[in-house]
Amino acid sequence: DADVTQTPRNRITKTGKRIMLECSQTKGHDRMYWYRQDPGLGLRLIYYSFDVKDINKGEISDGYSVSRQAQAKFSLSLESAIPNQTALYFCATSDSLRQGAKDYGYTFGSGTRLTVV
Amino acid sequence: GIQVEQSPPDLILQEGANSTLRCNFSDSVNNLQWFHQNPWGQLINLFYIPSGTKQNGRLSATTVATERYSLLYISSSQTTDSGVYFCAVETLGTSYGKLTFGQGTILTVHP
């Protein structure tokens, strides 16, 4: 099984619908992130969570919300999807100083390709 | 916020050739990572390298933090090296987690 699992892998939804993207990890990492990737724009941070009670907005949080249900689970919601939210969405995890980490390298999930029509 | 510039934007090689990818950043960093995104979209962490030099097989990376750049070396390239290479950084003084990504270098290796 993958260390970081995202579901669904692909999703087509209509404008105005609520949609949730889910992420779960078996790395035991404290930190989890949601990024979106658009062609030509690289990856941009939507939300991040350094532990279950610590959730923070990233660079482009408008139109999104998140929930950290457990250390291993971090979900991203689009409350009312719009076409410009069509993108590839990635969840990632990393270790923390609290856990004694010396390497803060990210582990990414396989991505969710979301199309809003 | 911190700016990250990668060069070249595109690179085309024949199998067996060597290449150097560069990442310049605008502020002091405590976290720098290189990633490879394969043609199927999967992102793989290559190096966590805020300073110094690391090697992993045919790949190596060097970060000169005082001069605000990092280099990724690919030797004896293979077609499986094709994809997009991203550099990502975090500004010194923050909390070791939130990365800012560059725009990437698209590498194509022909057989």
Mean pLDDT of chain B: 93
Residue A41: per-residue pLDDT: 74
- Residue A62 CA: distances (Å) to CA of B63, B89, B100: 34, 23, 18
Q: Return d(Cα A36, Cα A41) in angstroms, integer.
A: 9
Report CB contact under 8 Å: B97, A33: yes
Report CB contact under 8 Å: A104, B97: yes
| Candidates B86, B98, B104; nearest CB to A48 | B98
| Helix, strand, coil abundance in chain A, percent, nearest 5 | 5, 55, 40
Residues in chain A with CB shorter than 8 Å from the CB of B99 are 45, 106
Mean pLDDT of chain A: 92
Q: Return d(Cα A25, Cα A77) in angstroms, integer.
A: 18
Q: Which residues of chain B have pLDDT under 70?
A: 93-97
Q: What is the pLDDT of residues A85-99, one digit of tens each?
A: 999 999 999 987 656
Residue B98: per-residue pLDDT: 81
Contacts of A72 (CB under 8 A, 6+ apart): A24, A25, A26
Q: How many CB atoms lie within 10 A of CB A42?
A: 20
